[in-house]
């Protein structure tokens, strides 16, 4: 069981940094017990972005470089985004935080109740009180999810899923059939990976969320829910109410 050590490391890292506001997200050393990488793939500090808190991966803006070294194939990404969404919504529900979907995520839900296949990330919003609660109580916490939490390997849930699946289109070519079979095999493999290792998600809150200025273009993202195995994340933004 590795989790307690990671929690200890993370809480130590946040204690050490609580004396002053960090201009940048927790550094690579602070997440060493949690990431599987040996080097950081985040964009380096840059004078023009010196006040920016969250940084992205050097190879793609939709991955966190502390936890990812390469982009994932489309169907693998879609699989992990679904788990990201479920784990985030379940956690917020459990700890009593009201949150709602935005942007591409909202459009996907409106059109067919799903994540759009080309989506790279997910966007949510919070009200100010909720971001404060996450910042004060849940910053840098790691949340562990098992296959069971996702409903995998549960015959009842899997049957229900199959029942709602749309009939696949008739395959016109053997190549199309082989492609679909390939996707199904990879999905099964990904589920087995989750069954073996589980998934860990990190919640990190940008201390600049208190800044209500619309000029702060670098810190429009107030918190992130990060998949520590793939570097995929949910962008979370605070809705500030302005006085009338």
Ligand X SMILES: *[C@@H]1O[C@H](CO)[C@@H](O)[C@H](O)[C@H]1NC(C)=O
**Can you tell me the distance from the alpha carbon of 136 to that of 130, in angstroms, rounded to the nearest whole number?**
10
How far are the Cα atoms of 16, 48, 118, 240 from residue 212, in angstroms, in the given order?
A: 27, 21, 31, 7
For the chain, give the number of residues: 244
Among candidates 88, 86, 87, 73, which has minimal Cα distance to 190? 73
Please pick, from the candidates 174, 215, 241, 242, the single residue that binds ligand X as defined by CB under 6 A. Answer: 215
Fill in the per-residue mask, 128 to 157: x = in contact with ligand X (CB under 6 A), - = not in contact: -------x---xx-----------------
Q: Which residue has the tokens 């942007």?
A: 103
Q: Which residue has the tokens 């998600």?
A: 201
Q: How far apart are CA 100 and CA 224, in angstroms?
A: 14
Query: Least CB distance from residue 233 to ligand X, whole Å?
Result: 15
Interface with ligand X includes 33 (CB under 6 A)?
Answer: no
Q: Give min distance, CB of 215 to ligand X, in A.
A: 4
Chain center to CA of 79: 12
Q: Dig out the tokens for 119 from the structure.
A: 């989506």
Q: Binding pattern to ligand X, positions 13-32, x when CB under 6 A?
A: xx--x---xx---x------
Cα separation, 141 vs 31, in Å, equals 11
Q: Is 207 in the site for ligand X (CB under 6 A)?
A: yes
Q: Where are the alpha helices (DSSP H) in the chain?
A: 3-17, 74-95, 103-112, 128-133, 155-164, 174-197
* Nearest residue (CB) to ligand X, 127 versus 149: 127
Looking at the Cβ atoms of 173 and 215, the one nearer to ligand X is 215
- Say how many residues touch ligand X, by CB under 6 A: 16
For the window 71-110, what string marks contact with ligand X as x by the rule CB under 6 A? ----------------------------------------
Of 138 and 145, nearer to ligand X (C-beta) is: 138
Strands 122-127 and 141-145: unpaired
Determine if 214 is a binding residue for ligand X (CB under 6 A). Answer: no
The mark string for 112-131 relative to ligand X (x by CB under 6 A, - otherwise) is --------------------
Interface residues with ligand X (CB under 6 A)?
A: 13-14, 17, 21-22, 26, 135, 139-140, 204-205, 207, 211, 213, 215-216
């Amino acid at each position: 069981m590795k989790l307690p050590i990671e929690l200890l490391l993370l809480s130590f890292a946040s204690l050490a940094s609580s004396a002053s506001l960090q201009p940048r997200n927790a550094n690579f050393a602070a997440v060493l017990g949690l990431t599987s990488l040996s080097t950081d793939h985040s964009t380096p500090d840059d004078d023009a972005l010196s006040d920016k808190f969250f940084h992205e991966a050097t190879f793609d803006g939709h991955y966190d470089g502390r936890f990812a070294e390469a982009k994932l194939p489309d169907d693998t990404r879609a699989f992990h985004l679904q788990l990201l969404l479920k784990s985030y919504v379940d956690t917020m529900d459990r700890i009593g935080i009201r949150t709602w979907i935005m942007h591409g995520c909202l459009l996907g839900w409106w059109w067919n109740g799903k994540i759009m296949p080309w989506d790279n990330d997910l966007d949510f919003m919070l009200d100010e009180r909720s971001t404060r609660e996450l910042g004060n109580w849940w910053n840098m916490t790691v949340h562990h999810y098992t296959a069971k939490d996702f409903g995998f390997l549960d015959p009842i849930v899997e049957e229900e899923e199959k029942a709602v699946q749309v009939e696949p289109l008739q395959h016109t070519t053997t190549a199309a059939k082989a492609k679909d079979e390939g996707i199904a095999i990879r999905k099964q493999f990904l589920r087995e990976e989750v069954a073996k290792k589980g998934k860990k998600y990190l919640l990190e809150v940008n201390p600049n969320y208190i800044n209500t200025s619309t000029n702060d273009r670098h810190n429009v993202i107030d918190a992130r829910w990060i998949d520590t195995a793939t570097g995929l994340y949910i962008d979370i933004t605070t809705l500030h109410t302005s006085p009338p």
